[in-house]
Every structure is written in structure tokens, then in C-alpha cells.
Amino acid sequence: AKEGGRNQVQFYEPAMHARIVERAAIEGELRGALARNEMFLVYQPKVHVATGEISGVEALLRWRHPTLGLVAPGRFIGVAEETGLIVELGRWVIQTACAQNKAWQDAGLPPLRVAVNVSARQFRDKALADEVVAALHSTGLQAQYLELELTESMMMQDADEAVATVQRLKKVGVGLSIDDFGTGYSSLAYLKLFPIDFLKIDQSFVRDMLGDPTMAAIVRSVISLGHSLDFRVVAEGVETEGQLAYLQRYHCDEAQGYHLSKPILPEEFAALLAQGQAR
């Protein structure tokens, strides 16, 4: 205790140093990752809870680096945001997901929505709506088959600007959802200002709902309030049959999670889609 801050700094230094080194490595390597074809998308089905049929699919970004290995988005999305690389990366994700979805349709598979995650920086970029239009145009995908996943915090920062952006995207005709719902601070009444189609209940609530009555109450109230405000409700992180049964009982519309399917490669998803059911 008497040493005060000095020793503490020394104590934390190695761990901090390692983080800075990893960050620098990631930042350096991220710059060329797209050009070196190291990025790819995996696809996780969304399923109608009532029928088990595939309702849509979410595209998730993966990075395979020759020496860093498979780098999870949790390790590089933040860096990409801070450096601005996310703008180029995000454009690539939208373009690639649209092209993939069009290819599935052209192969005769039943048409469905592909959802892509939009970062805060992309959302603030004035060019986003134009880029979405350009991606739809160049791939020939109809707008109704693309969905953008936004987060609550994007809606909260500079609300007037956010409403304008969401309205612009809505006019393009794409579907819109609020991801990780319940982890931010917005109220459902406030969200009603935005022309949103889907609420995705954050996986932390779904994970704990069968053991924790508070979590279960949150899940049930998001479903019922969501419905009364005309949103469709999606539960993510569904890992067990019990969780799925609970969601079915409370009329959650769609579900996503390892119990239904992990994120998979495009050809694996095509095979699943040809079968019609995720399980």
C-alpha cells in the first residue's frame, strides 16, 4: 500500500504492453487484409420459432491471417472502427453479402433476407444509404432481401441525425433491426420514432432466462411490448431446446443460436436452405 501508484504501474505494464503490441499487429495487418483476400463471411440462419423454417440469415465477418490465425471480430472490429478501416471493410461486407444472397436466389433456393451488421462509424457516414443502393444495384439483389442490423447506441447519439439516416435507409426499402436490444438505455417508446422492423433481444438475456426470473421477465416483456409496438422480435444466442420452447411459449417470432445452427460457410448454408429447416 505504501508504494502507491508506482508499483501498480509496473505490475500492470506487461499485460498492457502485450495488448498494445497485439493491437499494433492487428492494425498493421488489417490494412492489407481485404486486398490479400483474408476476409470472408460466415452465415448464421434465423428461424421462425413457430415452424422451424429458415426465415433469414446473418452474415458475420471472419479474418484468416497467415500467422495470427483466425481472428475473431471481437479482436479487430474495434480497431477497424478507430482507424476508419471499418468504412472500407463495411462496404465489402454489404457488397459480398448482397452478391452471395443473389447467387443463392439464382441457384433456385427460396429467397430470404440477408442481414449485415453496421458499425457506428458506418452509420454516421453520410454515404451509407448511397453505398447500400450501389451494392443492391451492382448485384441485382432486391432491397427487401437485405437487412441492416443497427444498435441502440447508434439511435441514442444525435437522435435527429439518426432518425434522418434511418428514414433514408427505410426509403431504400431494406429491412432494419436493432441488435443487442436491452443492453443500451433506450426505451421502446423512443425506438418507435424509428421505422425499425425487428428487435433482437441480446443473447445475455436469453442465456440466463431459464435460471434467472428477472432475465425471463425481461425477455417476456420485450416480446410483448415489441409486438404491441409492431416490431417483430428475434432472440439470439439460443443454445438449448428448453430456451427455444420457452421462446415459443411466449410467441417470440424468430430465433438464432448454436442450438439451431452455428455460423457456417455459404455452401453449407445453401445445403441447409435446400432442406428448408435449420434442424
Non-local CB neighbours of 210 within 8 Å, separated by 6+ positions: 216, 240, 242, 243, 246
- Rounded Cα gap, residues 191 and 178, in angstroms: 9
CB–CB of 115/148 below 8 Å? yes
Return the one option of Ca ion, ligand C2E, none that residue 74 interacts with (CB less than 5 to 8 A, by type).
Answer: ligand C2E
> Exactly one of 119, 165, 186, 243 binds ligand C2E (CB under 6 A); which one?
119
Return the one option of Ca ion, ligand C2E, none that residue 60 interacts with (CB less than 5 to 8 A, by type).
Answer: ligand C2E
Q: Taking CB under 6 A as the rule, does residue 257 contact ligand C2E?
A: yes
> Exactly one of 38, 197, 239, 268 binds ligand C2E (CB under 6 A); which one?
239
- Considering only the stretches 7-15, 68-76, 131-139, 209-217, report the one whose residues sit in contact with ligand C2E under the rule CB under 6 A: 68-76
- Considering only the stretches 19-27, 31-39, 137-145, 230-238, report the one whose residues sit in contact with ligand C2E under the rule CB under 6 A: 230-238
Return the one option of Ca ion, ligand C2E, none that residue 234 interacts with (CB less than 5 to 8 A, by type).
Answer: none
- Rounded Cα gap, residues 107 and 83, in angstroms: 38
- Rounded Cα gap, residues 273 and 27, in angstroms: 36
CB–CB of 253/230 below 8 Å? no
The least CB distance from residue 106 to Ca ion, in Å, is 26
> Exactly one of 179, 191, 235, 278 binds Ca ion (CB under 5 A); which one?
179
> Exactly one of 117, 151, 243, 256 binds Ca ion (CB under 5 A); which one?
117
Q: Taking CB under 6 A as the rule, does residue 117 contact ligand C2E?
A: yes
Q: Taking CB under 6 A as the rule, does residue 266 contact ligand C2E?
A: no
Non-local CB neighbours of 249 within 8 Å, separated by 6+ positions: none
- Rounded Cα gap, residues 57 and 110, in angstroms: 12
Return the one option of ligand C2E, Ca ion, none that residue 66 interacts with (CB less than 5 to 8 A, by type).
Answer: none
Non-local CB neighbours of 213 within 8 Å, separated by 6+ positions: none
Q: How far apart are the first and last CA of the chain?
A: 58
Q: Taking CB under 5 A as the rule, does residue 152 contact Ca ion?
A: no
The least CB distance from residue 10 to ligand C2E, in Å, is 34
- Rounded Cα gap, residues 200 and 181, in angstroms: 6
Looking only at residues 183 through 212 of this chain, which bind ligand C2E when binding is defined by CB under 6 A?
203
Non-local CB neighbours of 255 within 8 Å, separated by 6+ positions: 46, 47, 49, 234, 235, 236, 238, 244, 247
Q: Taking CB under 6 A as the rule, does residue 131 contact ligand C2E?
A: no
Return the one option of Ca ion, ligand C2E, none that residue 93 interacts with (CB less than 5 to 8 A, by type).
Answer: ligand C2E
Cell of 123: 452509420
Catalog residues that contact ligand C2E under the rule CB under 6 A.
Answer: 44, 60-61, 72-74, 77, 90, 93, 116-117, 119, 179-180, 203, 236-239, 257-258, 263
